[in-house]
Structures are given as structure tokens and as C-alpha cells.
A and B are shown apart, each in its own frame.
Chain A
Amino acid sequence: MMFAAQSIAEFFQGFGGWQYVIAAVIHAVLLVHVFAVSPFAFIWLERKVSGRIQDRLGPTRVGGLFGWLQSLADGIKLVQKEDLCPSAADSMLFRSAPYIVCVSSFAAFMVLPFSHGWVAVAADCGLFIILAILSLEVFGIIMAGYSSGSKWSLFGGMREAAQMVSYEIPLAICALVPVIAAGSLNLGEVGGMQRGWFTNWFMFHDPFTFIAFFVYFVVATASCKRAPFDLAEAESELVGGFHTEYSGMRWSFFFMGEYASMFSVCGIASVLFIGGWNTGLAPIDDALYAARNASLDGTAGSAAVGYLANVIGAGVFAAKASFGVFVQVWLRWTLPRLRIDQVMTTCLKYLVPISCFLFLGATLWPLMLVTGMGRTTWTAPIGDRAAEGLQETREGTVEVSAIAVPRIDISLAVPTANNIESEGVVQ
């Protein structure tokens, strides 16, 4: 039974050493679809929302109701366009730059959990990996700007790189604020700890995480180079910024990368701050959790129910992250664009100190609560939830390894004389 296997790798167990390769290919294909379809939806959303905000209708014709096939029409148009490379450009770098942007924002989906145990790579330092991967995107943009052989592109690339590099700092610090509360960089565990009422979400853990959520969102918007921080694409001064010289599919790769990284930063926000795949209503969450646990007994029926519970979880996660993307679109069409010096001032003079303050506050908060109230949180203690979270992810992944640290049996480490002799190393 397909649902009974705890992971794709387990399902293909009979394939010798290749099961992980097959599992990796399947994960990659699934992620490519998430990666390709989400920009498809978000570009339509962008057009529709911008239309409504500007008192227009937006797309109405292609595909019938609400023009939902507009993105497909756009895509077909872009595929048909000529793949141009300016004669002044360094053609190898010019052609490969869009792939770097695209691949790095795509690779970030690798460690992003979509539901309980539904993650391509369940890494213990998942958040660190995702931040590292997202920081690669800037290199593709610098290359695009530099290799185009155009001054607009070069200026756009420089601005963009300066902006993305400096906004990475508050982004990482703000992402660490809920991590201090959770005590884990494993995104699956952090998500699992927020089960129960929505007061368990890390956003409501303390006042610092509450502010950190909004600061994170602003910084994430800026690091995705979205308006009001889209200096690189400031049409009025820089034509098209770093992608001035691009056309057709290579141009659209930049935009796929942009929409995909919008989704992934909102996904990170959703897992870290607003409960990830948990609904925030304790009865529903508990029911879904029970369904997942029941699915471990191996029968086909309960496995299908557990699978369904995960599908619901993934839907909740996608809804939260998509709402974040919607807010980013909303902001883009509402706020005027900042000037480049204002963008840098906002980051270096305001957002970095604010995020450092939040970081410090979040570390001191449990100590203040301990002296005042005699406990470390005002909601359910993290310690209890941490155990649940651990249990949840450990059960969800293939290799159920016991928590290693306290259980090292010292007696095993001291071999007997026989052992030493048989191992042949006595020195």
C-alpha cells in the first residue's frame, strides 16, 4: 500500500542502493511542480490584485472566469520570444545567470516542510541551510547585471546586490528570534511545537517574537526585491534594472525565481511564526495529529486517513504562505517606491538595530518571566511542546533514531580484553 510507507525511500526499498536516488528524483519532480505552479498562480494574483487596487478589472478573458489562464498565455508568449544576447555581453555568464537565480530559489524548497514530515530533506539545521541557499541568489543577479554589457544593468545589479546583501543580516537575526524560543533549527520540529491553540504559535510566544514577525515580513519583502524596495527595477530611472537586456524565457526565469522566493520566505515565516501546517484550533489540530499517529499502525485505511491529514496540513501551510504573498502584492501596489539611500538607511539604521534588540529581548524574556512568574512562558511550556514536536518529526521521518545525547552507554565504550585483542589495536 502506497500510503503505508513512511517515506518514498522506504517505498522503493527493493532497489538496492538506488532507492535514495529514485526518492530524490521523485522529490525533485514534486518540488519542480510546486516551484513552477506557484509562480503561475501568483503572477495571475499579481495582475488581478493590481487591477482591483487600481480600480480596473485585471485579466478577464483568457480561460473564462477571472481570466485564470492568463499566466499560461503569458508563458506561451515568453517561450515564443527570441532568445537574445547583446553583442556587448559576456555571453556565457549572460546565459547562465538566470539559471543560478532560478536554481537557488528552487533549492530553498528542499528543506521547507509542507506538512508533518512532508519535507524533501529533514535536516537538523534546516533554517540555516535555507538561509544559506537563499543567499546564493544574489550572485546570479550580480552576474546578470555585470555580464549584460549595459550600464542600466550594471547599476541595477549593484543596487540589487547591495540591497540583498544588507537585508540578509536582519532577515537572519529575525528568523533566529523564534528559534530562541523553540530551541531548534529543524523547521519540522519548530512547526510541530506550535500544535494546539493559536496562542502556541511562536508569534504569540512573547512580545519580541510578535514584533519580530512584522520586522521579518518587511525584511523578507525587501530581500525578495519587491516593491516598495524594488530599486533595481525602478523603471523611471533604470529602465529594467539588472534584467534590462533579457528577453523571453531567460527573463521569465528571473521572475519565476522572484515569485518562488516570495513563496519560500513566506513559507519560512509561516513555519517559524504562525504555526506552519497547524490550524491554530486545538480540537482540529489534535484530531489531525491523532489521525497521523494512527496511520503508523500499518493498515491501509488508517494510512490513507493519515495521508489525508497531511494533505490538509499542507493546504493550511500553503494558505498561510499564500496569504503572505498576497500581502506582498498588496503592498507593492499601495506604497510608493523608496529611494536607494532610503532603502539602505531603513536597513542599516533601523532594521538591523531593531532586530538586534528583538534578539536580545527574546533571550532575556524567559529569564524575566522566571523571576516574575516562576515559569518560562505564559502559554503551554515549550518543554512539553518540544517533546511533542520531537516525537512528531521523529515519527514522521524514516529513520526513527532515539534522542542520542543522554543515552550513551558508557560501559559499551570500555571494551573487554577479548574485544581489544580481536580488534587488534592495543596501544
Chain B
Amino acid sequence: MNGESFLFTVFALATCLGAIAVVFSQTVVRMAFWLVISLGSTAALFFLANADFVGAAQLLIYVGGTLVLLVFGVMLTASGPYLKIATSPGEIVMGSCVGLLFLVVVYASLNGVDWREPSTAVTESGNPVVATGNTLRPIGLSFLGSRPDQDLTADGETLTPGYLLPFEIVSVHLLVVLIGAAYLARAKRRAVGSG
């Protein structure tokens, strides 16, 4: 085992153990702490893969931004000290169902990828293309607005520009929800005469 794989092992373990600790701890702020460990180690894995920018973005957005927001939310909304979350059995069942489904999806897509060294091939028109190892999926391309599974030039084919528009609408919807939540959570202001 060389140094790099040693470091990879350390950070991969920290990522997984942190994630498990998030699930099993009861206090919200402790969960946030374990999430910092997990997300910070993920950033370290990005740095190990020489993806400096992605690693720094991970730190800035998730650890420095989202988690701080989360803890702020806990602080502002908690009615007593050390807010605890008791998970009901139903929630555990639902959570594990979603988790297992996600695991199946991840496993399937990992199996679908050709992990051998990518090599170059030439198309009929003479352009070199890099064989991607079967990492593209029609649904992923549809989110980008491209529909490789449909021939849009065929007669009678209606224009179906993929799922780009619904995807964008969902993100705008998130923004609307955020603004609405901020409006509802805002303390009612008394009218103060400003001199």
C-alpha cells in the first residue's frame, strides 16, 4: 500500500463513519458535526483525486455554507437547549427503503460502466471520439436537453426537448419555497414611528 491509497483509505473511512454517525446520533448539532466530518473528508477525497476546484467548492458550499445555515436554523427554531430528533419506526422504514433503492441505482450504474482504460476511436466522418466507457445514460442527457433516443428529424415527431424545462422549473420552485418560508417565519413587525 503506497501513501496515496493509505490516505484514500483514511478519508474514505472517515466519510463513511461520519455518514453513519449522522444517522445514529440524536442531537441535531451533533449530526451537523458528523456531517462536517463526512463532507470534509469527501472534499479531501476530491483533493486526492487532484480535483482542487471541486474540493474547495465542496468545502465552501457544503461545509462552510449549507451546514452553517442548518445550524443557524436549529438555533433559531429550537424551543429548548440541545434539540433532539426522535426517529419514529415508520420513518426508519421509509428512510431505509429510499436508501436501499438509491444503493440499487448506484450499484446498477457502477456495474454498467466499462472501467477499462478509455481509448480513442474514429467515427465514420473521421472525427476522433474518446470512448467513454458507457457512462452516458439517456435520462442524464435528457436532463441536459438532448434526446439521443428520439429522432427529432423524423416526420410527425413533436418537439420534445428533454427534461431541461421541468428541471429548471423545479429549481425555481425551490427558490419560491425558500422565499415563502422566510416570509412565514418572519417575526411580525410592529409599526415603529421613525421620527
Contacts and interface: CB of A to CB of B under 8 A. Distances in A.
Contacts of A17: 2-4
A92 B60 CA distance: 25
Contacts of A131: 56, 60
B119 interface: yes
Interface in B4-42: 4, 6-7, 27, 29-30, 33, 36, 40
Nearest to B28: A146
Interface residues of A, number: 45
B75 A426 contact: no
Nearest to B36: A139
Q: Which of A96, A168, A419, A427 has the most CB of B within 10 A?
A: A427
Interface residues of B, number: 35
B52 interface: yes
A21 B3 contact: yes
A414 B3 contact: no
Contact of A142 (B55, B59, B68, B131): B68
Nearest to A134: B64
A139 B30 contact: no
3 shortest A-B CB distances, which residue pairs?
A17-B2, A135-B64, A21-B3
A413 B120 contact: yes
Contacts of B29: 90, 93, 143, 146-147
A210 B176 CA distance: 40
B122 interface: yes
Contacts of B4: 17, 20
B27 A132 contact: no
Nearest to A168: B64
A124 interface: yes
B30 A90 contact: yes
B60 A420 contact: no
Interface of A is mostly: helix
Contact of B128 (A92, A100, A158, A413): A413
A124 B52 CA distance: 8
Interface of B: 2-4, 6-7, 27, 29-30, 33, 36, 40, 52-53, 55-57, 59-60, 63-65, 67-68, 71-72, 75, 81-82, 119-122, 126, 128, 131
Contact of B59 (A20, A132, A161): A132
A426 to B, nearest CB: 6
A128 B120 contact: no
Contacts of B40: 136
A18 B60 CA distance: 30
Interface in A160-176: 161, 165, 168
A18 B33 contact: no
A16 B6 CA distance: 14
A16 B2 contact: yes
Contacts of A147: 29
A9 to B, nearest CB: 11
B78 to A, nearest CB: 10
A125 B36 contact: no
B53 A100 contact: no
A133 interface: yes
